[in-house]
Amino acid sequence: MSVVDIDQLEFSYDRKSKPVIQKLCLNIEQGEIVGIVGSSGNGKSTLLRLIAGLEVPSAGVIRINDKTVNDKSTFIQPEHRGVGMVSQDYALFPHMNVASNIAFGLHRMPRKKRQERVQELMELIQLKGYEDRYPHELSGGQQQRVALARTMAPRPSVVLMDEPFSSLDAELKQSIRSELRDIVKAEGMTCLFVTHDQADVEDMSDRYIRLGQ
């Protein structure tokens, strides 16, 4: 079953400028990890923002779990799309500790189940005991794992990741790639991530697409 289905997608920042994305079609199956690679400025991050509902396409259709979230007459707001996204800088809320960050999207769950889910994810990302720490008290790799856990906590249909390894040093990158892949696979999540580094897609994705030239 396809989780994300994109048809003839187009986007430009204003009417006069050249489209950043032109007639893009993409299909992602349940449980797949798909990488998108390409140089900067060719619309990789924009594509994620369009799927998430943070930007509005100029044309085309986006379907998530067979439900149209975007076409000529439909626009589903980001909070109702069931999409998770890990941004390049993680955007962990600086005024909340690790546990509160992870629990943030679990507001529809009863308190007990919410706590269980947080603990489950803390174990999965191997940060048990760090619940009360604040984001600035964590290393770059730890912050990234927390950001991923926060995104996966409400079990979104698809996890989008924008340049997930760009702010990590080369040594850490290697180990984090396989760690992240294991975490995503362990949760049975569908994942789409963008990167400019060929090694990232080769190590982490089931298949990858090259965007632009």
Partner 1 sequence: MSFRQIKAYIKRNLNGWWIVSILGAAVILLPILFVFLSIFETPSEHWAHIKEYLVKDYVIETLTLTFITAITTTLLGVSLAWFVTVFDFPGRKILRWALVLPLAVPPYIGAYTYSTMFSYTGVVQVTLRNWGFHPSQDWISLTSMRGAVVVFTLFLYPYVYLVTRSFLERQSASYIENARLLGRNGMSIFFWVAMPICRPAIVGGLSLVVFEVLSDYGVTQYFGLQTVTTAIFKTWFGMYDVNSAMRLAAWLMVILAGFFLIERVLRRHRKYSASTSKSKPLQPIKLGSVKGTAVLLFGMVVLAAAFAVPILQLIVWATWTYQDVWNDQFMFFIGRTLYTAAVSTVIIMLLSLIVGSATRSRSWGSALLSRTVIAGYSIPGAIIAIGVLGVFLSLDQVYGEVYRLLGGKGTPVVLSLTAAMLIFGYVIRFMATGYNAVEVGFEKTGTRYSEASRLLGRSRLYTFWRVDLPLIKGAVLSGCILTFVEICKELPLALLLRPFDFETLSTRTYQYANNEQIHEAAIPSLLIIGISFISVYVLHYLDKRWET
Binding site for partner 1 (CB under 8 A): 52, 54, 56, 72-75, 77-85, 87, 89, 91, 93-95, 104-105, 107-108, 150-151, 153-154
Separation CA 145–CA 160 (nearest Å): 14
Question: Closest CB to partner 1 among 73 and 213?
Answer: 73
The contacts found for 13-22 with CB under 8 angstroms, 24 or more apart, are 19/58, 20/46, 21/46, 21/47, 21/50, 21/57
Show the DSSP H helices in the chain as ranges.
44-52, 98-103, 111-124, 140-152, 170-186, 198-204
The distance between the two most distant Cα atoms of the chain, rounded to a whole number of Å, is: 53
Question: Closest CB to partner 1 among 13 and 207?
Answer: 13
Instruction: Give the shortest CB-68-to-partner 1 separation in angstroms.
Output: 12
Instruction: Give the shortest CB-117-to-partner 1 separation in angstroms.
Output: 13
In this structure, are strands 67-70 and 59-64 parallel, antiparallel, or unpaired? Answer: antiparallel
Instruction: Give the shortest CB-23-to-partner 1 separation in angstroms.
Output: 19
Instruction: Give the shortest CB-4-to-partner 1 separation in angstroms.
Output: 15
Question: Closest CB to partner 1 among 137 and 202?
Answer: 137
Question: Closest CB to partner 1 among 107 and 112?
Answer: 107
